[in-house]
């Protein structure tokens, strides 16, 4: 028997229930159905002071860092803002610098699913690539599949359901990949 793995989702926008948050919730729900425990850090929980390498860590940032430090896997979701990661999400990720001295520094040893939402394909794809680059920089393992979602085709219902089967399948596959990687690592580290 392996232990239950913990998947932490970080992302969205300042608007609770944003499309990025809806996509993130779908990945986390799917991860939960695959046996993981999940934690969501989205919307107002992402609002924290601009990262200052010489400053003190604000309570919001401490909560984020504690969740990331305890995670077995991560899922990041950002809207495309002018072709890249939104300032809100990027600032939260910049705070991860404070985990440089952690036992598992930054995102080390963890799979990271990346999801970008935009009003067109160009922004969706460039933002997905940026999330994957940040994941590499933070020593994480981007999952083979990431999701670039074009919201101009309105693929989410007001209740948060995904109306596009292909997008739903992609988000579920990302959940499978993060849970599988985290489970394999949990097994490997429990026997070493």
Ligand X SMILES: Cc1cc2nc3c(=O)[nH]c(=O)nc-3n(C[C@H](O)[C@H](O)[C@H](O)COP(=O)(O)O)c2cc1C
- Site residues (CB under 6 A) for ligand X? 13, 15, 18-20, 79-83, 117-120, 123, 151
- Least distance to ligand X, CB of residue 102, Å: 29
With CB atoms as reference, the residue minimizing the distance to ligand X is 123
Look at residues 5, 21, 25 and name the one whose alpha carbon lies nearest to residue 13.
Answer: 21
Pick 42 or 96: Cβ nearer ligand X: 42
Tokens of 164: 């596009």
Of 127 and 183, the one with the shorter C-beta distance to ligand X is 127
Nearest-angstrom CA–CA distance, 67 and 176: 20
Q: In which residue are the tokens 């074009």 written? A: 150
Q: How far is the CB of 159 from ligand X (least distance, A)?
A: 15
Q: How far is the CB of 123 from ligand X (least distance, A)?
A: 3
Under DSSP, the state recorded for 34 is: T
Helix spans in 11-86 (H): 19-33, 59-69
State in angstroms the smallest separation of the CB of 13 from ligand X: 4
Query: Would you say 21 or 98 has its CB closer to ligand X?
Result: 21
- CB-based contact 120:79 (threshold 8 Å): no
Q: Which is nearer to ligand X, 34 or 81 (CB)?
A: 81
């Amino acid at each position: 028997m392996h232990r239950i793995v913990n998947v932490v989702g970080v992302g969205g926008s300042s608007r609770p229930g944003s499309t990025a948050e809806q996509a993130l919730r779908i990945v986390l729900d799917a991860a939960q159905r695959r046996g993981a425990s999940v934690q969501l850090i989205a919307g107002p929980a992402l609002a924290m002071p601009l990262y200052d390498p010489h400053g003190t860590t604000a309570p919001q940032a401490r909560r984020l860092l504690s969740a990331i430090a305890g995670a077995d896997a991560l899922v990041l979701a950002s809207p495309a803002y002018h072709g890249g990661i939104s300032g809100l999400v990027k600032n939260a990720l910049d705070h991860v610098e404070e985990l440089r001295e952690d036992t598992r520094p930054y995102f080390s040893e963890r799979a990271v699913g990346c999801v970008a939402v935009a009003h067109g394909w160009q922004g969706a794809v460039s933002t997905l690539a940026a999330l994957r680059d940040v994941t590499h920089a933070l020593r994480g393992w981007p999952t083979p599949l990431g999701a670039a979602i074009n919201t101009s085709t309105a693929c989410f219902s007001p209740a948060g359901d995904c109306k596009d089967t292909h997008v739903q399948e992609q988000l579920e596959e990302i959940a499978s990949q993060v849970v599988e990687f985290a489970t394999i690592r949990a097994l490997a580290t429990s026997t070493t």
